[in-house]
A and B are shown apart, each in its own frame.
Chain A
Amino acid sequence: MPEIAPEARFMGTVTALTMHEMQNILAIIRESAGLMGDILKVNARVEFKHRPNMERTLEHIATHVDRGKGLLEATSRLAHSPDDDLLDGCDLAVYARTVAQLSERLVRLRGAAVDFTPASSALPVAVGALRILMAGYRAVQWAVGAGVKEGVVRMSVEAGQEYHALSLLPPQGAQQDREGLTVLASLLEEGRVEWDGARLRLFFPVRKQE
């Protein structure tokens, strides 16, 4: 089993507990806003000047609670990734989506966006969750590279016999450095990285059923 530094375990434990509190906070906001919406619907015939503003505000709250829920899910997965049962192997389909969620902000700061195509089934790999998150996030950083002002990073997963892959198509105009590929390869350990000039693929060994 790979070793995890006590510092990483500490950060994971504290973050997981804090995320649990955040989840309760979001749940209270959602139900409270939902109740206000329910009351407006029950009193649909009662007109008042600011009804449209209130309805619009409630829609904003719902939208951003959903957004927060996505971030919470991804951060919780990050926090739990040093758990013992996630060190030996995990589902690439789940953690590829987590990489996409966690890197949204990073990509948006470059004026770009992430477009993630989810897998249709589980893709078990013999690589720890934390390793996938580290390599995946670094790959997104590399993919947006320098010189990007807009565009889309397209992420998907590809199933294979010996390896499953996380695939990234950088936005047009991004300038990637070759040294970055060496760093990525060092993060992959038993996997490998491929760059064909247009698409980056991180290959992770398939976890064979015992």
Chain B
Amino acid sequence: MDKSAWNILLVDDEVEFISTLAERLEIRGIDARVVYDGEAALKAVAENEPQVMVLDVMMPGIKGLDVLQRVKEEHPKVQVILLTGQGKTRDGIEGMRYGAFAYMMKPLDLEELIATLGEAMKASQGTPNA
């Protein structure tokens, strides 16, 4: 799979974390857009629908699970990988009920994230529009 063609959106209010993660993905040939809150995420999805969105659950403003619900309602093809806290598996399970593709815990294992991105990318190509 050609990783350079992946359309990925990263969403987290921890600027140093998410921008450094984007740099590490770029070194591996994966370009990702980065936004830092839920409102900007919804705008970015509306402007250029990503195939996969990596979304932090706990952010100021619009919460991650609310962003997830709105994205899945308006853009069902977008696959969402949630970032949850240690010991907060309940958020991840709830997110799966709302249609998240997967949930992962911070700190991330980069290789595991890339593997999950690949699976989500395949799912985005096979997902029906409704």
Cα A108 to Cα B86 with chains together (Å): 24
Does the CB pair B23–A30 fall under 8 Å? no
A-B contact count (CB 8 A): 68
For B107, the chain A residues whose CB sits under 8 A away are 23, 26-27, 29-31, 65, 69
Q: Does A32 contact B (CB under 8 A)?
A: yes
Question: A38 and B16 in contact (CB under 8 A), knowing A23-B107, A69-B86?
Answer: no
Q: Which of A72-80, A119-127, A133-141 is the interface stretch? A: A72-80
Question: A34 and B86 in contact (CB under 8 A), knowing A26-B107, A27-B17, A69-B107?
Answer: no
Q: Does A20 contact B (CB under 8 A)?
A: yes
Q: Which residues between 1 and 60 of chain B lie within 8 Å of chain A, taking CB atoms?
A: 14, 16-17, 20-21, 23-24, 27, 58
Q: Does A42 contact B (CB under 8 A)?
A: yes
Q: Does A19 contact B (CB under 8 A)?
A: yes
Cα A69 to Cα B85 with chains together (Å): 11
Q: Does B97 contact A (CB under 8 A)?
A: no
Q: Which residues between 13 and 56 of chain A lie within 8 Å of chain B, taking CB atoms?
A: 16, 19-20, 23-24, 26-32, 34-35, 38-39, 42
CB distance from B11 to the nearest CB of A (A): 14
Does the CB pair B16–A76 fall under 8 Å? no
Does the CB pair A73–B86 fall under 8 Å? yes
Q: Does B110 contact A (CB under 8 A)?
A: yes
Partner of B87, one of A19, A29, A30: A19
Count of A residues near B, CB < 8 Å?
Answer: 27
Does the CB pair A34–B87 fall under 8 Å? no
For A34, the chain B residues whose CB sits under 8 A away are 20, 24, 110
Partner of B20, one of A31, A75, A80: A31
For A65, the chain B residues whose CB sits under 8 A away are 107
Partner of A23, one of B20, B86, B90, B110: B86
CB distance from A100 to the nearest CB of B (A): 15
Does the CB pair A24–B17 fall under 8 Å? yes
For B21, the chain A residues whose CB sits under 8 A away are 31
Cα A20 to Cα B86 with chains together (Å): 8
Does the CB pair A20–B58 fall under 8 Å? yes
Q: Which residues between 52 and 87 of chain A lie within 8 Å of chain B, taking CB atoms?
A: 65, 69, 72-73, 75-77, 79-80, 85
Q: Could you list 26 A-B pairs, sorted by A, with CB under 8 Å?
A: A19-B87, A20-B58, A20-B85, A23-B85, A23-B86, A23-B107, A24-B14, A24-B17, A24-B106, A28-B17, A28-B20, A30-B107, A31-B16, A31-B108, A32-B16, A34-B20, A35-B20, A35-B24, A39-B27, A65-B107, A72-B86, A73-B86, A73-B87, A77-B86, A79-B87, A80-B88
Contacts from B to A (Cβ < 8 Å): 14, 16-17, 20-21, 23-24, 27, 58, 85-88, 90, 105-108, 110
